[in-house]
Structure 1
Amino acid sequence: MSVAWSAGSGVNRYFADRSLPGRLSSALWSFSRRDPRAWRSLAVNVGLLAAGMLCFYLTSRHRDAPVVRDDLALICLSVFALMAVVSYLAWECSTLVRVRSQVARQTPAGALLTSSFGPRALRVTTPGMSYEIPYASITRVARIGDVLVIRSANDLVMALPMELVPPQGLELLTSKVAGGPLREPSYS
């Protein structure tokens, strides 16, 4: 791991080590789990499951038999609960796999990452991309462990290792962000 901060140049350099993709993935996954918009697809899925089970119960020809009615309702509720849990676990796993694969592609071990905190924008360069995010467009900043997660108005979410964020850059970022000062997430 190599970190260089030169106050005169304003460019922060970090060579990614083997732990970086895991750290970034963990932070992004934690960040996405706290975002209500990320839960919409799961809520729609569970709602469709509930509607399907209700339709099955209401259209079943055995529903009118008194002995079968209670058993059929119990079966429908059990199937719904099981499918809801399976949907949730599938959603969690797919989110984690998608985030991990994307981060691993963008920050392989040994890759040079740079950041620069200018007067109006944050500039970040990875081996495959370069971003410039104006401070005015940043809507949320969260420090999760040793990673700073930044969300902009166009829903770009970026995770920076704290090695790329010097104290001066963190102060500049938090003073210019529209959302106010940086808040540590609560895990309770």
Structure 2
Amino acid sequence: MKQLGDIAGVFAFLSLLTVGGGMAAFPELKTLTVDVHHWVTFPELLHFYSLGQLAPGPNMMMVASIGTVVAGLPGAAVALVAFFLPTGLLTWGVGRLWTHMQTWRWRPAIQTGLGSVSVGLVLAGAIIMARGAVVDALHAAIAAVVFLLLLKTTINPAYPIVASGVVGVLAYWLDGIG
């Protein structure tokens, strides 16, 4: 039962850090799930996050995977509710307030500031993820190619994710042969 409470506390807290999307919470997600609670390893967390990017729906549905590792199906349910409910309620409340304050003179400045905060949080998450995922020249090349593809084209992100997985499997297979 304590594990379910810990899962609820961790994911409710992380929920409130997702300004700009789930990647914004990734640094703290790594700290809490890998370093503090030791629920998963960093490579496992990266795998769960990657699968969340590939799967349809919100990418942070991957929190269910961590909940499952910790406490089975009840852990998955608690992680999902704890992660999505606080942010959902907060967004609903702030959205109503924001609409009410449509003519407030400080509103544009707050919007601009929150945009900058979101970019910084997402960038911090990307840097922490890169430290664990880009471990050699092949992975650096894959990251660079995917980054450039997504930056310069309108390609669906699922295609480079799947292609990167295929390249990784082939490299692993070829390394095993050699």
TM over 0.5, shorter chain = no
Higher helix share: 2
Name the structure, 1 or 2, with higher relative contact order (CA <8 Å, separation 6+). 2
